[in-house]
Structures are given as structure tokens and as C-alpha cells.
Amino acid sequence: MEVIISDSSKDASMRAARLIAKTVKEKPDAALGLATGGTPLELYRALIAMHKSDGLDFSKVRTFNLDEYIGLPETHEHSYHFFMHENFFKHVNVKPANIHIPNGLAKNVERFCFEYEAQIKAAGGIDVQVLGIGSDGHIGFNEPTSSMASRTRIKTLTPATIEDNARFFNGDKTLVPPHVITMGIGTIMDARTIVMLAFGSNKADAVAKMIEGPITAMVPASALQMHERTKCFTDLPAASKLGHAEYYKWVYSRKPDWQKDS
Ligand code: GLP
């Protein structure tokens, strides 16, 4: 895993945005795997700015979101559909037909999940998957003990994740739906490039375990140690518990410029 430590989350998000922009320029119909939460907001802002000022073109891009709450309609202000529309899609020119987000109201969840996997496959697989990390080390909504080979499926959230995400539900944890549909760890691992973003001191433990700890289902993000091309962009607080932080900075500072955004 390549670890890129930036002075701020804004710098880190800009670096990640340049990588995604490069992918989209080289492959205009790239399939992007997208994430929600507070972490990718600056990345989305940077991509929106590139679209508006430099004409970065999303018209052929296909998108696949990681997850969605079961029971929330698309129009619900706390659904991930709503989040993606408000924070990214309505500001760029992604075609609605090219947007894929798990359907939290699917009548037959199992069939829906099977078809979601088939849609990703039919798109040729995901070129770049954006990820955040939960404070317990989850990716998507793959909570600790999730199978490392899991595919898109229903999951039940842990009380800790419900607590973490209550801030998006006016702080009321009783409003957080306990069930979700999420891409599996196996689904995520199939992406050709993974862009992991981790910001803030509350992610420092999870980041250290993900990068330097043992590979274990207790820390789902540690599966990324087995991924061929994962770039982890952190700010200083999120990197504060890494034992080899100085080494990662040393490596990055010696990379040739042409390699830095790829
Ligand atoms: C949720 C999402 C994850 C996200 C995580 C961290 O659980 N399903 O995809 O990475 O929250 O969220 P935040 O970025 O707000 O810290």
C-alpha cells in the first residue's frame, strides 16, 4: 500500500482528485466507485471545481456507490442517494443512467445485490474505488468479522458505527437504520486502483491497524494490504499513530513528479 501523508485534508483530497481526473482523461468512460461520509467531501469539491473550470468531462463516466441504508427512499435527506446527488452528481455532468447506488428499498435484497455485482462486471469492473475508513476499520459498511471474500450483500451495523453515523441523523442514533446494503470486501478488492482517504485523529488507530497491523477480519481495511494498487491519502492527525510515517514521507518526497499523480 502506498501511503501519502499530506499537511492537510485539503491537500490530500487535491492529490486524490488529480489521480481521478487523470484516470477520467485517459479513459473517459471509466467506472468510478464512490463513497459517502464526511471524508470524501473535499475530494468531490475538487472534482466539481475541475469540471467547472477545466471542463473535466464526466459525461461517459459510470459510477457505482459502495453502500446505502435499507429502508430509506432516494429522496430521504439522510440516504446516500441524496448525499451523492447534493454533494457531487448535481454539480457535474454524470448521466443519471450511468449512476448506480444500491437500492435501499429493493423488495428482493438478495436478487438486487446479485444484479449490482453483475452491473459492475458488465461495466468492465471498477477503475478507481474511493474509500473512507470507519473508526473500527470498516470499509463500505463491511464491519469487523466481515468475510474478506464477501460480495454485495445486506449487513447489520455495529452499535459503534450507528453511534458514529448518528451525527448525520441530527445526533439521534435511534434514527440510523441498522441494516444496509454494501459492496463486499471481495467486490472492493476487485477494483483496479483504490484511493483510501483518512482524515482526523479519530481515524489514527484504524489507519495504523490498516497499514501496519496484521491482516485480519477484525480490521476489514487491513485487506487492502493484499491489494495490488492502493493509495492511502491521509492528513497529519490520521497518520499520527503510524510507526513508519517518516519513511512514507521520505519515499513520497523522492518520487519523480510524473509518478506522483498516477
Ligand atoms: C460510513 C460509510 C463509509 C465511510 C465511513 C466513515 O460508515 N459507509 O463508507 O467511510 O462512514 O465516514 P466519515 O468519512 O464520515 O468518517
Candidates 153, 142, 205, 198; CA nearest to 4 is 198
Residue 52 in this model has a pLDDT that exceeds 90: yes
Q: Which of 13, 39, 157 has most ligand 1 atoms within 8 Å of CB, for mutation?
A: 39
The residue-averaged pLDDT of 35-55 equals 97
| Per-residue pLDDT tens over the stretch 112-137 | 999 999 999 999 999 999 999 999 99
Regarding the beta carbon of 197 and ligand 1, being less than 6 Å apart is answered no
Instruction: Name the residue range of residue 90's domain.
Output: 2-254
Q: Is pLDDT above 90 for 93?
A: yes
Whether 262 is covered by a domain: the verdict is no
**Percent of the chain with pLDDT strictly greater than 90:** 96
Give 170's Cβ-side CA count (13 Å radius): 3
Q: Is the pLDDT of residue 257 over 90?
A: no
Residue type, 70: I
* Tens-place pLDDT, residues 135-174: 999 999 999 999 999 999 999 999 999 998 999 999 999 9
Structurally, the chain folds into a number of domains equal to: 1
- Cβ of 33 closer than 6 Å to ligand 1, yes or no, is no
Q: Is residue 85 part of a domain?
A: yes
- The dihedral through the CA atoms of 88, 14, 120, 217 has a sign that is negative
Look at residue 262 and tell me whether its pLDDT is greater than 70: no
**Can you tell me which atom of ligand 1 is nearest the CA of 200?**
16
Q: Which residues are catalytically annotated?
A: 67, 136, 138, 143
Q: How far is it, in rounded angstroms, from Cα 157 to Cα 174?
A: 13
State the DSSP code for 107: S
Closest approach atom of ligand 1 to CA 38? 15
Query: Checking DSSP bridges between strand 179-182 and strand 153-156, what pairing results, if any?
Result: antiparallel
Question: Any idea what the CATH number is for the domain that residue 245 is in?
Answer: 3.40.50.1360
Minimum-distance ligand 1 atom for the alpha carbon of 180:
8
| Stretch (H or E) spanning 3 | strand 2-5
261 in any annotated domain: no
H helices present in the chain, as ranges: 9-26, 41-54, 80-87, 109-122, 159-165, 185-189, 204-212, 245-253, 257-260
Q: Which amino acid is at 211?
A: I
